[in-house]
Amino acid sequence: MSSEQVISRLKSQANRLPNKPGVYIMSNDKDKVIYVGKAKGLKNRVRSYFTPKPANEKVEAILKEIVSIDTTVTITEREALILENTLIKKYNPKFNVLLKDGKSYPYIEVSLNHDYPKFGFHRGKKKSKQSRYFGPYPNVYAVRNTLSNLQKIFLLRNCTDSYYKNRSRPCLQFQIKRCSAPCVGETSLEDYSFNVNQALDYLKGDDKSIIDNFINEMEKASIEQNYERAAFFRDQISNLKVIQSQQYVDGTKKVDADVISLVDQEGMYCLAVLFVRKGKILGSRSIFPSKTKYDSNEDILASSLMQFYLEHDIPSEIIINQSISEKRIIQQALMEAQNRQTKIKDRVVSYRAKWLKISVANAEESLKSKLSSKSSISNQLRDLTEALGSKQKLKNLVCFDVSHNMGDKSVAACVRFNEDGFSKKDYRRFNIEGVQPGDDYAAISNAIERYYKRINQEKRNLPDLLIIDGGKGQINSVKKVLQSLSIEDQMIIGIAKGDRRDPKNDRIFIQGYKDPIDMTGRDSAKFLVQSIRDEAHRFAITGHRAKKRKQLLQSDLESIDGIGPSKKKNLLTQFGGIQEVKRASVDDLISVDGINKNLAEKIFNHFNPN
């Protein structure tokens, strides 16, 4: 069917659509979704694509590839907006803006179901009935810093419940005055509860009431001539004021807000999210939306808001640095999706304007850094292309390395590098089996064969360059594998350690040449190859260590008569690791599913032979 016939058929289909809210999905001749859109009226919106003259470049580009349209009718435009962005995340269409932010954000978790609650780090699904959560925080550092402050001021425990139950004397945290050691009765339930309540007020941003309470306790202790306790509260007040002085905070405005700024330069966009909770700035996160070629700043910001908050909690306010025409409908859709109230604001003054200024500055600085890094990577790839004499610019590179311990538990790793830097979603590990222990040639060949077989099966393009950690021997063995797969045009280089394993003496071999190539004056190219090799080595060795740890766990637990994979899993799940299993008492072990008293005693005696 010709392109004119396809367009004519789709135009007829559009005329038959109901003029109701909904979502339309456009696909190409390979049945791959290329665009997802939402409409207040499906018929009018889809028909607008098939006018005699395309409305813009984006519509023109879509019409060159489209072969089919699927639609879903919704009750409201808000539902259509939510469904649109859910499908964008699912299909990753080439003509939709995509917000690359798959990471979950960390929280502080307070285990309120315990007499002596633990304040700890949490990421993932929330257990709302058992715990209370504060956040989200922009990164792990922000959570760790806040937890450190909580320990310093309120002396709260941060250990696991199993560790807490098995203490017979205070741990190091008590010695360095970071915990009040409730596990061994060094503090009363009343005093610990007081500190917990103060810590909760701190996380709510109510610092003034904390200081007032500390002053009252200090004066009370002084009257009772309990000068040691009075001095303790004096020091806590001092610590809290030091921390307050380090935080940017409007003490009278306990606002929960995300302050979002979109900036662009040289065709690249950066979205900076500044997290403000109870008037305190917790930090920021920079995200770089992709597939933005045909979209305006307003379209990018609107799409980014929906995609971001369909995966993350909404605060009471979302402050943005530019107006968007769909602000009201996006606000309603987010409230409907999360069953929470929020307001989207684009005109702010006073302290909100200060936060917005900080957010914009973060976005600009992150974008500047990203562009600088991208430029540096581009220069390195250009220099490497010239150094290797490649006729086409090298853009996609893969590197393989093998890690083992005297031939035991061999793991091969593959890392990918492109114009954006290391592409961690494309990293792969291969467990090497069926080869002679310590035979690096066979191990690397095994991984290469499996990797390139997959490329052939999926009909993907070959990497521009294959880098092997090794010299001519490794290159020759890899070449034979590729020839057996009928792959003849893959460029291969090897990087071998030089004298005394000094990086300055590293030698780079290229397939077909006897001697290492001369990299004099090509420092940036050589450094790029070394960096990729080092990353492959890091990825391989972490995989090897994980495999070794798993073996140690198996030998520790499964060597006990009566413990199989299922009971081992139950033990590790309940106690959180082998160390906690070793510390567990018989009574603790009996509480695990499948562990009776006889088996619990066996486990306890195994780890406590005396």
Peptide bond into 117 cis (omega under 30): no
pLDDT score for 405? 58
Judge whether 276 and 257 are in contact, CB under 8 Å: yes
What φ, ψ does residue 507 adopt, rounded to 5°? -115, 140
Least confident of 55-64, 154-163, 313-322: 154-163
What φ, ψ does residue 323 adopt, rounded to 5°? -80, 150
DSSP 8-class letter at 435: S
CB under 8 Å to 390, separation ≥6 — which residues?
Answer: 464, 465, 491
pLDDT tens-digit series, residues 518-545: 877 777 888 899 999 999 999 988 876 7
pLDDT score for 404? 66
Q: Work out the average pLDDT over 46-55.
A: 88
pLDDT score for 242? 62
pLDDT score for 269? 92
Most confident of the following: 87-96, 198-207, 576-585:
87-96
Rounded to whole angstroms, the Cα distance separating 366 from 515 reads: 43
| R_g of the chain, CA atoms, integer Å | 30
CB under 8 Å to 247, separation ≥6 — which residues?
Answer: 280, 281
* pLDDT of 224 higher than 80: no
Phi and psi based region of residue 419 (left: phi greater than 0; alpha: psi -120 to 50; beta: remaining): alpha
- For residue 401, which of 462, 455, 474, 454 has the smallest C-alpha distance? 474
CB under 8 Å to 193, separation ≥6 — which residues?
Answer: none
Domains of the chain: 3-91 (3.40.1440.10), 257-369 (3.30.420.10), 397-549 (3.30.420.340), 558-607 (1.10.150.20)
3-state helix, strand, coil in the chain (%, to 5): 50, 20, 35
pLDDT score for 141? 81
CB under 8 Å to 259, separation ≥6 — which residues?
Answer: 273, 274, 276, 319, 352, 355, 356, 358, 359
* pLDDT of 207 higher than 70: no
pLDDT score for 251? 45
Rounded to whole angstroms, the Cα distance separating 543 from 145 reads: 29
Q: Which position has the token pair 């103060």?
A: 198
pLDDT tens-digit series, residues 91-129: 999 999 998 776 678 888 888 888 888 888 888 777 767
pLDDT tens-digit series, residues 408-427: 567 888 999 998 889 988 99
Judge whether 111 and 118 are in contact, CB under 8 Å: yes
C-alpha distances in Å from residue 575, one per residue of 118, 166, 292, 557, 590:
16, 12, 47, 13, 12
Judge whether 448 and 478 are in contact, CB under 8 Å: yes
Q: Work out the average pLDDT over 272-295.
A: 88
Judge whether 299 and 100 are in contact, CB under 8 Å: no
The pLDDT mean for the chain works out to: 85
Residue 215 host element (H or E) = helix 207-223
Least confident of 70-79, 127-136, 497-506, 552-561: 552-561
Rounded to whole angstroms, the Cα distance separating 314 from 308 reads: 9
Judge whether 284 and 359 are in contact, CB under 8 Å: yes
The reported pTM is 0.69
Q: What percent of the chain has pLDDT over 90?
A: 32
pLDDT score for 26? 93
Judge whether 25 and 71 are in contact, CB under 8 Å: yes
What φ, ψ does residue 289 adopt, rounded to 5°? -60, 150
Q: Work out the average pLDDT over 276-305.
A: 89
Helices and strands of the chain, counted as H and E runs? 20, 18
Reduced to 3 states, what is the DSSP secondary structure of residue 267?
coil
Reported as half-sphere exposure (CB side, CA atoms, 13 A), residue 322 has a value of 15
- For residue 302, which of 322, 324, 286, 287 has the smallest C-alpha distance? 324
pLDDT score for 515? 83
**Relative orientation angle of helices 327-338 and 77-91, to the nearest 10 degrees:** 80
pLDDT tens-digit series, residues 52-88: 888 889 999 999 999 999 999 999 999 999 999 999 9
Three-class HEC string of 339-398: CCCCEEECCCCHHHHHHHHHHHHHHHHHHHHHHHHHHHHHHHHHHHHHHHCCCCCCCCEE
Residue 50 host element (H or E) = none
pLDDT tens-digit series, residues 440-451: 788 888 899 999
Compute the Cα dihedral for 551, 553, 556, 562 and give only its sign. negative
pLDDT tens-digit series, residues 357-399: 999 999 999 898 888 888 888 889 999 999 898 888 999 999 9
* pLDDT of 43 higher than 70: yes
* pLDDT of 463 higher than 90: yes
Q: Which position has the token pair 């467990």?
A: 431
